[in-house]
Amino acid sequence: MIRLNLTASPEWLELAPGLRLLVAPLTTALMVSARADATIEALSEDASQEDLALAMAKAVARRAVLDWEGVGDDAGNPVPVTPEGIDALLEIWPVFEAFQTSYVAQGLILDAEKNGSAPSPTGPSAGATAIAPPVPAPAPTARQD
Percent of the chain having pLDDT more than 90? 63
Residue 15 domain-assigned (yes or no): yes
Which residues neighbour 95 within 8 Å (Cβ) at sequence distance 6 or greater? 15, 16, 19, 89
Residue 6 domain-assigned (yes or no): no
d(CA 91, CA 79): 17
pLDDT at 117: 45
Kindly report, residue by residue over 83-108, the tens digit of the pLDDT.
999 999 999 999 999 999 999 887 66
Q: For the whole prediction, is pTM greater than 0.75?
A: no
Residue 56 domain-assigned (yes or no): yes
Q: How confident is the model at residue 131 (pLDDT cuts 50, 70, 90)?
A: low
Residue 132 domain-assigned (yes or no): no
Residue 144 domain-assigned (yes or no): no
Percent of the chain having pLDDT more than 70? 68
Kindly report, residue by residue over 45-79, the tens digit of the pLDDT.
999 999 999 999 999 999 999 999 999 999 999 99
Q: How confident is the model at residue 136 (pLDDT cuts 50, 70, 90)?
A: low
Which residues neighbour 22 within 8 Å (Cβ) at sequence distance 6 or greater? 10, 11, 12, 13, 65, 66, 67, 68
d(CA 23, CA 69): 12
* Residues linked to residue 12 through DSSP beta bridges, in sequence order: 22
- Starting at the edge strand found earlier in the chain, the sheet holding 65-69 runs 11-16, 19-23, 65-69
Residue 123 domain-assigned (yes or no): no
Kindly report, residue by residue over 55-64, the tens digit of the pLDDT.
999 999 999 9
pLDDT at 105: 83
d(CA 108, CA 127): 31
Range of the domain at 23: 11-113
Residue 74 domain-assigned (yes or no): yes
Q: How many domains does the chain have?
A: 1
Distances in whole angstroms, Cα of residue 31 to Cα of each of 61, 104, 111: 10, 9, 12
Residue 139 domain-assigned (yes or no): no
